[in-house]
Amino acid sequence: MSTAANALNAAGVHKTEALLFFTLMQLAVIILVARAGGEIALRLGQSSVVGEIVTGILLGPSLFGWLAPGLFDIVFRSAPPEPMQILSQIGLLLLMFQIGLEFDFSHLTERKHRHTVAWVASAGLTLPFALGFALGWLATPLQPAGADPLVSGLFVATAFSITALPILGRIMIEFQLTRSPLGVIAISAAAINDVVGWLLLALVSTLAAAQLDALDFLTRIVLVLVFFGLSWFVVRPLVKRLVHRARPGRGRLPPNLMGFLLALIFGAGMCTYQLGIFAIFGGFLMGVILHDEHGLREAWNTRVGHFVSVFFLPVFFTYTGLRTDIGSLDSLADWGWCALVIALATLGKFGGSYLAARRCGLVHGEAGILGIMMNTRALMELVVINVGYDLGVISQTMFTMLVIMAIFSTILTTPCLRIWLPAIGHPLPPRVRE
């Protein structure tokens, strides 16, 4: 090998090592800060994921980049952003599989309180969707240049409609609400909201990718339906047979089964990407088709789920934080729009759920608690708005406003429950009362 070739090879190795160095530094900072944020949130009576979301946002230009721009540039601007982007997307793909795996469809068939569930779920979808669509359609100053108002409106409407089922479930466990009538209504309505919300997100993503071409859009929809049918009727029986043969459970997830599941998740993500919707939908669908494998869910959560939560989730939150610049809202008009986004999102979800619950006979306090639980958005909201931002149908300003709205709606849930639950005679558990 010539001297010049050796020099080029050495330069390539050095560049790779430098990229690795800065990526490892970013990951170390993100994980340690996320754990600290989670602990602080727990001490303040919030869910740990709330602290992780907030610290992820604060690691971006909103705080870290504002207080110490030089150090911020060293940590997050010394290397290309692609490694962090890829890690965040892989983590999101695995998380979506986990969410699909944990989905409990029994809530959707609960006979008790079915009338109330139907009303709350419908009102909790239609009113925020209508308000979000109107805002996205009419808020011309918040739209990215060249974006179609129809698609922008549909994305904001979808973001307004979503409820963070996993976070809501965790909060309900903390307050011992999972087996109460109010808890059953809330989790059932939230489950319906999530199903419809993800379908809406898939449809709107397909519409955006098709660039409003009717034939292209219909073709993509047909292909997605075919993929879903093949996944449910062909892939599901084969995978379930492999799962039964491996017998996972009680923390036991055989290496061959884990390897197969990872390949399945990644393959499904590749398929949905090729179909014109985001790879995360493939991961979610693979989780849904295996939702009734309780042993697999337990083993996955024990062996893989904790790693996803501790490593990948903070990366995603920080990736979102790096795209969020609260300082960019530098005028009264911007903060006025932000207040309007928060007000309309809260009015739609909380107000719609409250009115529906009152119509079905719930007293004021019960309806208020139901409304505040349905207004919890958190992680699911961040997933939706990241998709919209990547597609270029919501601007960086609207992205920031929606992030603030997601954090506000989630932080609000725990203190409101702590105040309102005793008023309807539901005692607070000791760990929540403190």
pLDDT (tens digit per residue) in 287-346: 989 988 989 999 998 889 889 989 998 999 999 999 898 988 888 989 999 999 999 999
pTM: 0.81
Q: Is the pLDDT of residue 150 over 50?
A: yes
Write down the pLDDT at residue 8. 44
Residue 42 pLDDT class (50, 70, 90 cuts): confident
Q: What is the mean pLDDT of the chain?
A: 86
Burial of 354 (0-12, 13-18, 19+ CB in 10 A): buried
Say how far apart CA 94 and CA 249 lie, in whole Å: 19
Per the listing, tokens 């976070």 go with: 167
Write down the pLDDT at residue 133. 93
Q: 45-49, 315-319, 329-333, 350-354: which has the minimum mean pLDDT?
A: 45-49
Over residues 357-375, mean pLDDT: 92
Write down the pLDDT at residue 114. 80
Token pair belonging to 418 = 């702590």
Say how far apart CA 321 and CA 56 lie, in whole Å: 5
Each residue of 130-148: pLDDT tens digit? 999 999 888 877 778 777 8
Residue 433 pLDDT class (50, 70, 90 cuts): low
Pick the most confident of 30-34, 97-101, 271-275: 30-34
Say how far apart CA 399 and CA 309 lie, in whole Å: 24
Give the Cβ contact number of residue 73 at 10 Å. Answer: 11
Each residue of 410-419: pLDDT tens digit? 899 988 998 8
Helix (H, G, I), strand (E, B) or coil at 1: coil
Write down the pLDDT at residue 3. 58
- Which residue did the predictor score with more confidence, 208 or 133? 133
CATH architecture of the domain 87-433 equals Up-down Bundle (1.20)
Pick the most confident of 6-10, 53-57, 218-222: 53-57
Each residue of 212-225: pLDDT tens digit? 677 777 887 888 88
List residues bridging with 249 in a β-sheet: 252
Write down the pLDDT at residue 104. 66
Residues of the chain with pLDDT > 90, as a percent, come to 41
Write down the pLDDT at residue 387. 87
Residue 434 pLDDT class (50, 70, 90 cuts): low
Write down the pLDDT at residue 108. 56
Residue 4 pLDDT class (50, 70, 90 cuts): low
Residue 203 pLDDT class (50, 70, 90 cuts): confident
Alpha helix (H) residue ranges in 360-395 = 364-374, 378-391
So where are the chain's domains? 21-76, 87-433
Q: Of 193, 223, 194, 226, whose CA–CA distance to 206 is shortest?
A: 223
Q: Answer for the pair 132, 340: CB distance below 8 angstroms, yes or no.
A: no
Kindly report the CA angle at 403 between 399 and 405, in degrees rounded to 5? Answer: 115
Angle between helices 313-322 and 3-43 (to 10 degrees): 100
Helix (H, G, I), strand (E, B) or coil at 252: strand
